[in-house]
């Protein structure tokens, strides 16, 4: 039996939120840029947070907040991934975890491969850890986006020491195949390099059987890898700081144990409580309903673009609620999101921030009410037709 699609909250309620999505731009702008969703929280999360507020439970995060056991259960149940509990650690958010792991595996000045176009903080994270970004763009074919394994191998042969992987990939929504990930692991192992996989979009794969956690791709992947993830994207918890770091094998687990205590202390108590509730079986039904809503919206967006922006190029994503759309044929400049926001009053993410491959592109967040998605694309379509959209 298929799940009932989750309903987005009414726009008047959403505009009462104080998060970036709803406070960055004026009220006449439809915000579809940052990766926040427009749905209410899973009931289990609401209950645990409401009870914490009622109790005044706002102190320090305890040494064992239950994150380890909750994540291990979720990974097995929802991702088909058996995780050794002794390999699981936690921190404030995914990028914090990435920085700390990079500091373990590279020296200042070492090069780190990133596969552009990619989540903009990847560039800052590498630099924060003392590394130098080496860009190896994805290859685009008729079947979608793919890792350039030859390019990555060449970069490692030239001295790069680590690969920062996005799996599934943001912004393209690509779910890398098990075979591709295993090949990447072999390349890294031959070069003596480390793979750090950001898997925050993993629970948002439309076919869960197609998503392979990097560390589960092969024995070599476990030997060379780390993963960092969180419930924050799926369950809209970005403001509640909590992420999970997973070691691929015992040596990496020992390395994570050497991190300063402060790395774990950065985890917020509300973040820990919310992540444990999100990872519990009680939230599975809500998760299924979310995926039903997103499944409908990703198809709706394709139809809307075909009707209102027929020159746009969009590949329906394999995972996530973010659409990578090439609108370069409309002549709106290298960064079309600026013109779209000013004239159509729709805020989309700026393509060039994801790398040079993002010129002429925008990223659209479609985790919203279908009517809001229709209104946004209609406004942009009016701009494409030479008409400035009115409010």
pLDDT at site 24: 97
- Angle at 69 (CA atoms; ends 63, 75), nearest 5 degrees: 135
- Angle at 70 (CA atoms; ends 69, 73), nearest 5 degrees: 85
pTM for the model: 0.96
Which two three-digit tokens encode residue 214? 């990097």
Which part of the chain is CATH 3.90.1150.10?
11-41+283-384
**3-state SS, residue 54:** helix
Q: Identify which of 133, 185, 171, 176 has the alpha carbon closest to the alpha carbon of residue 155.
A: 133
pLDDT tens-place string over residues 345-389: 999 999 999 999 999 999 999 999 999 999 999 999 999 884 444
pLDDT tens-place string over residues 225-238: 999 999 999 999 99
Q: How far is CA 307 from CA 97, 253, 374, 378, in A?
A: 42, 51, 11, 9
> Do the beta carbons of residue 44 and residue 275 sit within 8 Å?
no
Query: Which CATH architecture best describes the domain 11-41+283-384?
Result: Alpha-Beta Complex (3.90)
Which part of the chain is CATH 3.40.640.10?
45-282
Residue 368 and residue 321: Cα distance in Å, rounded?
Answer: 9
pLDDT at site 208: 87
Burial class (CB in 10 A: 0-12, 13-18, 19+), 302: middle
Q: How far is CA 94 from CA 100, 101, 233, in A?
A: 10, 11, 11
Selecting from 3.20.20.30, 3.40.640.10, 1.10.287.70, 3.40.50.10860, what CATH number does the domain 45-282 have? 3.40.640.10
pLDDT at site 338: 98
Over the chain (391 residues), the average pLDDT of each successive run of 10 is 90 96 97 98 98 98 97 98 98 98 98 98 98 98 95 98 98 98 98 98 95 98 98 98 98 97 96 98 98 98 98 97 98 98 98 98 98 98 68 37
Residue 349 and residue 32: Cα distance in Å, rounded?
Answer: 7
């Amino acid at each position: 039996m298929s799940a009932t699609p989750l309903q987005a909250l009414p726009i008047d309620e959403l505009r009462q939120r104080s998060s970036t999505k709803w406070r960055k731009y004026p009220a006449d702008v439809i915000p579809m840029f940052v990766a926040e969703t427009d749905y209410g929280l899973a009931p289990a999360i609401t209950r645990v947070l409401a009870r914490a507020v009622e109790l005044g439970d706002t102190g320090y995060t305890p040494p064992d907040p239950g994150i380890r056991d909750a994540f291990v259960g979720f990974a097995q149940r929802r991702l088909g991934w058996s995780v050794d509990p002794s390999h699981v650690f936690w921190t404030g958010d995914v990028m914090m975890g990435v920085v700390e792991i990079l500091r373990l595996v590279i020296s200042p000045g070492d090069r780190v491969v990133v596969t552009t176009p990619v989540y903009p903080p990847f560039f800052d994270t590498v630099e924060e850890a003392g590394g130098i970004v080496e860009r190896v763009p994805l290859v685009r074919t008729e079947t979608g986006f793919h890792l350039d394994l030859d390019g990555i191998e060449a970069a490692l042969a030239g001295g790069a020491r680590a690969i920062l992987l996005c799996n599934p990939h943001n912004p393209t929504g690509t779910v890398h195949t098990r075979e591709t990930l295993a090949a990447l692991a072999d390349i890294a192992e031959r070069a003596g390099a480390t793979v750090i996989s950001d898997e925050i979009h993993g629970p948002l794969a439309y076919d869960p059987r197609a998503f392979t956690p990097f560390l589960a791709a092969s024995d070599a992947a476990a030997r060379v890898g780390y993963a960092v993830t969180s419930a924050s994207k799926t369950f809209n918890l970005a403001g509640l700081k909590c992420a999970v770091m997973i070691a691929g094998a015992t040596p990496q687990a020992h390395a994570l144990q050497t991190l300063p205590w402060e790395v774990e202390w950065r985890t917020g108590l509300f973040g820990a409580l919310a992540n444990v509730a999100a990872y519990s079986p009680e939230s599975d039904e809500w998760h299924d309903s979310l995926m039903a809503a997103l499944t409908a919206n990703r198809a709706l967006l394709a139809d809307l673009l075909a009707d209102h922006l027929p020159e746009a190029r969009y590949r329906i994503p394999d995972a996530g609620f973010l659409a990578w759309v090439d609108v370069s044929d409309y002549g709106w400049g290298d960064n079309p999101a600026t013109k779209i926001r000013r004239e159509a009053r729709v805020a989309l993410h700026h393509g060039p921030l994801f790398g040079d491959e993002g010129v002429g592109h925008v990223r659209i967040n479609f985790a919203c009410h279908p009517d809001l998605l229709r209104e946004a694309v209609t406004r942009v379509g009016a701009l494409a037709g030479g008409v400035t959209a009115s409010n």
